[in-house]
Amino acid sequence: MALVSVAEMLKDADREGYAVGAFNTNNMEIAQAIVEAAEAERSPVIMQASQGAIAYAGLEYITSMALLAASKATVPVALNLDHGTSFAQVVQCIRSGFSAVMYDGSKLSLEENIAMTRKVLEIARPVGVSVEAELGKIGGTEDDITVSEKDALFTDPDEAAVFVRETGIDCLAIAIGTAHGQYKGEPKLDFERLKKIRALTQIPIVLHGSSGVPDEAVQEAIRLGIRKVNIDTNIREAFVWAMRRELEKNPNEIDPRKILGPARSDTVETIREKMRVFGSSGRIK
Ligand SMILES: [Zn+2]
């Protein structure tokens, strides 16, 4: 199967009311784990690469792994750029074979964000690459957000309506209380805000920083219109915790495969659990 775009993938999710997991890859083992989990769960899957992943593995390696994985897969696989901030990089990703890009202009003013996102759409649309954009500021878990800060940082539903109408994006990443990284306490999601955004935009909504959000909260968010759930931290944890366990068990082990193999297996299990929570399991016959 060739890579499919995220927009294409989210059509069925939107119709049936589930979400597709977007899992960050950094190396071969994680890329393999993402596709292995999708095959085992008969689930569509989005593999994505962050700025860090591209710096670490290189754009060509990431693209080659995803293209190879998709060509062998019997379930739909998408390859998405996560938090693209440079137009040049978006172009590079599209040219190298990505089926979707996220352009993150959330640090810009609304007008600039609209202008840049439109520019991305102009080059992505003709080649069938779907576009996710972000409005509002998704924090880091170290950021303590007070109630008064919420309105400044969280996505404004009316702005979201304008943004979606003016750009024509395929899906929108929003800030409703999740954060990137490991949470210290339990994150509280602003479901009312999500409900309003969804009602005003009518497009698939994306939840970032979803690792560590309780399953019930994620499922409630999916009920209210979240169609793509990003998971990075939980994958890092599964991978590194397994490596640590194997190294502690066998401190003299010098075969990387004996450490990385179990890390890959644990990552598969973590991703499979997420797919069941998101309701994407068993969607592909
Ligand atoms: Zn993110």
12 CA distance to ligand 1 centroid (A)? 23
pLDDT in tens, 90-124: 999 999 999 999 999 999 999 999 999 999 999 99
Q: Which residues contact 146 (CB under 8 A, 6 or more apart)?
A: none
Instruction: Provide the token pair at 176.
Output: 């409703």
- Angle between the 59-72 and 28-41 helix axes, to the nearest 10 degrees? 20
pLDDT band at 146 (very low <50, low <70, confident <90, very high): low
pLDDT of the residue at 246: 98
The Å distance, Cα 113 to ligand 1 centre, comes to 16
What integer is the mean pLDDT of 230-249?
97
The neighbourhood of ligand 1, an ion, using CB within 5 A, equals 208
Rounded mean pLDDT of 224-243?
97
Residue 254 token pair? 């010098």
Burial letters 143-171, b for 16+ CB under 10 A, else e: eebeeeeeeebbbbbebbbebbeebebbb
Mean pLDDT of the chain: 95
CA of 247 to the centre of ligand 1 (A): 31
Angle at the Cα of 88 from the Cα atoms of 85 and 93, rounded to 5 degrees: 85
C-alpha span between 261 and 150 (Å, rounded) = 43
Catalytic residue ranges: 82
What's the pLDDT score for residue 167? 98
| % of the chain surpassing 70 pLDDT | 96
Enclosing H/E stretch for 149: helix 147-153
Q: Which of 172, 170, 103, 165 is nearest to 130 (CA)?
A: 170
The yes-or-no verdict on residue 184 having pLDDT over 90 is: no
| CA dist., res. 133 & res. 131, Å (int) | 7
Dist CA 175 CA 190 (whole Å): 9
51 CA distance to ligand 1 centroid (A)?
A: 11
Q: Is the pLDDT of residue 196 over 60?
A: yes
CA neighbor of 130 nearest in space, from 5, 262, 30: 5
pLDDT at 144 exceeding the cut of 70: no
Question: What is the pLDDT, as a whole number, of residue 140?
Answer: 76
Phi, psi of 29 (to 5 degrees): -65, -40
Quick: pLDDT tens for 46-95.
999 999 999 999 999 999 999 999 899 999 999 999 999 899 999 999 99
